[in-house]
Structure 1
């Protein structure tokens, strides 16, 4: 992208009353960002959805000056960027109508691997959520996915630290400019993240981590990934907004179930109950439902790690299902010489552990 074109894009972004959808319409009509400012105002008003309010302030010299200042910051600090029409722009995000026209970036981001997973959840992660998050990333690591999150407290930083630990690329989507880091306490993780991925943001160096920015940031997290996983969430929270956005983009959403009385499982349980998310009890669930290719050796690695804590009754049922394939509950009870009520409750426990999965027709199979 030429300097003049980048300046024109920055100028469009800085104009009030114009969002990403409108900017894309203007660029599509005129051919490029520079041409927007060369086109006659009356011709721009003929574009569907473009009114006088949208164009108000477009030609204000103040925005030109702000664009020049941001360009100097980008140049001075060697800030990278991805334009929505360029090949290096996140592929999944490109298909979202409201995706950012321009993303600023830092680090060593490589999006050639298309298995992108967003992990989100409460900032007040529990020991249960931490253990599940770390185990999930350990188990999914053989697939070498890219782990995307928001670099915030709780689930975000837990996921990104686990990704670094297992040598996975991880991307933090920020709600502010790249001239700062929020929360400040996470600055100690920046270097590791940049070595193993990096950061994306749509916000300029003059932007602070304001509340509304986090909501805008959530659409990037949901949009750039193939699948969004909610680890833990209270009944209301930003991660549920991210899940809703992912659903609106027709992306798969998974949620980790928890006990009904646990505050930070209620949001996930509701997503599952309302059929807004698949239940996630293990990495194998996600691999199976998405149909991701995985080598036999890697499958065994994931499975081996899943059934090390089975009780004797669970082990007996698992061995039977593994040997005989899909089976009805009554058949399991009969062959394992257990009462039906005992098998029913045991199967539920095993499903929560992620070693078996229920199928249509009241069938069960070992993972």
Structure 2
């Protein structure tokens, strides 16, 4: 709420001071010593701190009234998959009861001009995720998005709608009843403050949250320039898995999916096993699971603590997907990548296709 303090600057300030509270209580002479805080930014902070706190109090009161949770990026309930991405929102407005850090989370997106083929595929796809108790994420839009939410509710899976407007208003209004049902086993999520309307530029911003919150983004149907292609591109840029459902070459609503597969930006989805193999769900250790088989002891002496944490997981679980490693070790993706690189260079760990890693 302070002018010129964007996400990067806010994170830098919180990291420097140790908490957001200390940023608001720090005297001028201390703020002047902070790297990247010049005279102009210093003046903005000092001039607007009191007003920002007053505005924040209004938001907190509104959130309590609307039963909305305010998830700052330091909040343990903030989605871990999203937290360390370079453009992750500082603050999320969340209404619902689903675990945003579910061990398995899949985004299902697609065109607003969906067909019966898209509906059937979406239902089959969601039904295949029941055994994995996956969290289903989509954008509450017409077409494939709302079909994914409805299918999740039908099969008893939690589902979260990420919105391009503030959470107190459902857009499109036609999905009001579905959104209310989602609150019983799922929720509504947005980065936009109360009173925000669904303007066009906010939809791509919404899409990055959909892509960032999941292990894999699946595009069911898409035209050649569909908005779901943006979600796929963003997921690809985050080094997350992307799948696309192939369709008839004569169908406009399959052009985008076929294009993603042709350009190697997406793996074809034809059955649940395709997804399970891609994410190694049939083999990987999940954060809440405890290996029961006896495993020979592993000598970790001589390894730093960070490397030991990674080696323990790989020793117990066998080949493991990097996303599962990140959640189980509680390392950020950047920190984990650095540790894995060191272990690879040492000849201890080997990278395998599909973002899997194994002990040598």
TM-score by length of 1: 0.71
Matched positions, count? 283
Q: Could you say which residue in structure 1 is the equivalent of 2:11?
A: 24
Among 219, 227, 240, which residue is 1:238 paired with? Answer: 227
- Listed one character per residue, the Cα deviations across residues 91-117 of structure 1 (whole Å, up to 9, x for unaligned) are 211221221122111121124531100
Structure 1 residues 82, 62: CA separation in 2 closer, same or farther (over 3 Å shift)?
Answer: closer
Q: Who is 1:37 aligned against?
A: 24
Is the Cα contact below 8 Å between 1:122 and 1:234 reproduced in 2?
A: yes
Q: Which moved more, 1:33-42 or 1:138-147?
A: 33-42
- Residue 208 of structure 2 corresponds to 219
| 2:106 equivalent among 110, 113, 117 | 117
Deviation at 1:254, TM superposition (A): 0.4
CA RMSD of aligned residues (A): 2.3
**How does 1:74-89 map onto structure 2 within 5 Å?**
74-89=63-78
Q: CA deviation at 1:264?
A: 1.5
Residue 95 of structure 2 corresponds to residue 106 of structure 1: yes
* 1:283-337 superposed Cα distances (whole Å, 9 cap, x missing partner): 2111112110289xxxxxxxxxxxxxxxxxxxxxxxxxxxxxxxxxxxxxxxxxx
Gaps of 5+ in 2: 285-352, 354-360
266, 275, 293: which one aligns with 1:277 = 266
Which structure 1 residue ranges, 5 or more long, are not aligned? 1-13, 296-359, 361-367
Q: 1:20-169, aligned counterparts within 5 Å?
A: 20-40=7-27, 44=31, 47=34, 50=37, 57-58=44-45, 59-60=47-48, 62-111=51-100, 113-169=102-158
Query: What residue in structure 2 maps to residue 341 of structure 1?
Result: none
Residue pair 2:80, 2:101 contacting (<8 A) in 1 also? no
Cα 1:214/1:55, change in 2 over 3 Å:
farther
| 2:240 pairs with 1:255 | no
Q: Between Structure 1 and Structure 2, which shows a larger proportion of helix residues?
A: 1
For residues 63-93 of structure 1, give each alpha carbon's deviation from its aligned partner in whole angstroms, at most 9, with x where no partner exists: 4443232122012223212221122211211
What is the distance in 2 between the residues matched to 1:198 and 1:158? 16
Q: TM (normalized to structure 2)?
A: 0.73
SS in 2 for 1:195: coil
